[in-house]
Structure 1
Amino acid sequence: MLQHVNLKNILFLDIETVPQYEHWNDVPEETQELYGLKTRYQRKEEITAEQFYHRAGIWAEFGRIICISVGYFIEKNKKLQLRITSFKNESEYALLKNFKNLLDNHFKQEKHILCAHNGKEFDFPYIARRMIINNIKLPKKLNLVGKKPWEVPHLDTLELWKFGDYKHYTSLKLLTHILGVPSPKEDIDGSEVYQVYYQENDLNRIVRYCENDTVAVAQLVLRFLNLPILEHQNIISV
């Protein structure tokens, strides 16, 4: 499939999420109970739901999106460039609306495809769920009801690397390492986003991290196609 995709029709993306509340005591009592039930299978018996709350951002029911970074290829002076931009806002509703507008106005055609690392398991369903929670109508690219697997307009670099092996998980950091792509994890990783956002109040640092992941996903697709990765000067923030 990848061999037949025009690179300029792909929208690369990554999201960053945090728990909906900074402190466990701010979480409504019923939500606390439901979170405990939801996470029971992941927690060891000695770890309480409160102690596990810093992980709440990985579930759309208990987390929220604080950044969506996107990238797309263009050709300028016969050279491929990657344009990167981010949607970031204290209001998740505004962030999601702006992202929806991008999809509805610029990436709505049949030829357009969304691409992320582990996107089919995380990024794409998470965005869709948070849109529904925020009473936002799903854009066409995220509304998969009734679609056959080959009709879903999504690419996933993790899935591409699996080659049909559904037991095999490879992190973005490992995959970039073995394929010679500059590491996106030079500053923070996903486990630190909660602290950087709530305790350090440094959204810009998280945005840089999110954009680096998006660049890495785009570079991986180039490697899968046996094309040279982009030099730094050909990666443009807009």
Structure 2
Amino acid sequence: MLEKIRLENVLFLDIETVPEQENFESLDEETQKLYDLKTQYQRKDGETPEEFYERAGIWAEFGKIVCLSVGYFTFKGDIRHFRVTSFHGEEPKILKDFNNLINNHFSKPQYILCGHNAKEFDFPFMARRMIIHGIALPNKLNLFGKKPWEVPHLDTMELWKFGDYKSFTSLKLLTKILGIPSPKGDIDGSQVAHVYYVEKDIDRIVTYCEKDVIAVAQVLLRFRQEDLLIDEEIIHV
């Protein structure tokens, strides 16, 4: 079935998230209590909500998107390119710009969204943050009333499971075993908040996010038994 999907109809994406506030003390008292309740089963014995707040970015209720990168294939005869671009800045603008991209260029039924662990994280996170900001959901993220086979989403981690729902496979591990150049640079997901709030280096986060988008595209190519992208085929716009 994967071979029947036209690569130019796939929009690859990845998001980078951080806690909505730089530190726990910046939250109002009620939000602090709600975060305490939300994370009580995730924290280690004796670990306080303050100590655990560095992980707040994994929940849409307490985190925010600071970078959203997308990539898509273009073909002109035998020439293949993969175009990558990113949205960053204030979260409402990131989401509105992404919304405009979807509605203006990827809204037709044949288009699908693709990410790694995106069905569990990226897609619902984006949808929830849009609702929080009062932004209308694009059809590609509005799943209400849709049957499973009508959902226009593709997840490379789900493809790798082959029906096995017991395990999580990171993108870094998957690229390693599939012989794909590692997408990771000088930071990992656990360091994004520090780079954002302390180093204030959004360019570094954008580079990290775009590498993940490229890696997801490479994984899909390997699943389809097609040649991997080379540097000359990747265009950053």
Q: Tell me the residue number matched to 2:235.
A: 236
Corresponding residue pairs, total: 237
Matching residue's letter, 2:69: S
Percent identity between the aligned chains?
Answer: 63
Compute the displacement of 1:77 (Å): 5.0
Task: Give the deviation of 1:41 after TM superposition.
Answer: 0.9
Q: Which residue of 2 aligns with 1:28?
A: 28
Q: Please say if 1:135 is aligned against 2:134.
A: yes
The one-letter code sitting in structure 2 at the alignment partner of 1:64 is K
Query: Which residue pairs with 2:194 in the alignment?
Result: 195
- TM-score between the two structures when normalised by the length of structure 2: 0.99
Aligned residue number for residue 176 of structure 2 = 177
Q: TM-score, length-normalised on structure 1?
A: 0.98
Matched residue of 1:222: which SS? helix
Q: Secondary structure of 1:115's match?
A: strand
1:66 corresponds to 2:66:
yes
Report deviation, 1:66. Answer: 0.5
Q: Say yes or no: does 1:54 pair with 2:71.
A: no
What is the CA–CA distance in structure 2 between the aligned matches of 1:191 and 1:80, rounded to whole Å? 34
User: Structure 1 residue 163: deviation in Å?
Assistant: 0.3
Match of 2:14 in 1: 14
Taking the aligned partners of 2:161 and 2:39, their CA distance within structure 1 comes to: 27
1:176-226: CA deviations, max 9, x gaps?
Answer: 000011101121110000110001000000000000000000010000000
Query: What is the DSSP-based 3-state SS (H/G/I as helix, E as strand, rest coil) of the residue aligned with 2:200?
Result: coil
SS at match of 1:143: coil
> How big is the shift at 1:23?
1.6
Q: In the alignment, residue 63 of structure 1 is paired with which amino acid?
A: G
In structure 2, list runs of 5 or more residues that go unmatched: none
Q: C-alpha offsets along residues 33-92 of structure 1, whole Å, 9 cap, x if unaligned?
A: 111111111101210000000000000000000010000000135122100000011x11
Secondary structure of the corresponding residue to residue 50 of structure 2: coil
Q: Give me the whole-angstrom Cα distance separating, in 2, the residues matched to 1:48 and 1:205.
A: 30
> Are positions 1:218 and 2:217 aligned together?
yes
SS in 2 for 1:166: coil
Report the CA distance between 1:2 and its aligned residue: 1.5
Unaligned runs of 5+ residues in structure 1 are: none
Q: What SS does structure 1 have at the residue aligned with 2:140?
A: helix
Q: Cα RMSD over matched residues?
A: 0.7
1:91-135 Cα deviation digits (max 9, x unpaired) = 111110000000000000000000000000000000000000000
Structure 2: how far apart are the matches of 1:220 and 1:44? 34
- Cα deviation for residue 3 of structure 1 reads 2.0
AA of the residue aligned to 1:150:
W
| Aligned-partner Cα distance in 2 for 1:175–1:80 | 24
Which range moves more in the overlay, 128-137 or 182-191? 182-191
Q: Secondary structure at the match of 1:16?
A: strand
Determine if the alignment matches structure 1 residue 123 to structure 2 residue 107: no
Give the AA of the match of 1:34.
L
What secondary structure does 2:67 align onto? strand
Q: Where does residue 100 of structure 1 map in the other structure?
A: 99
CA distance in 1, matches of 2:77, 2:66: 35
Output the CA distance in 2 between the equivalents of 1:178 and 1:79.
28
- Counting only pairs closer than 5 Å after superposition, residues 84-95 of structure 1 correspond to structure 2 as 84-89=84-89, 91-95=90-94
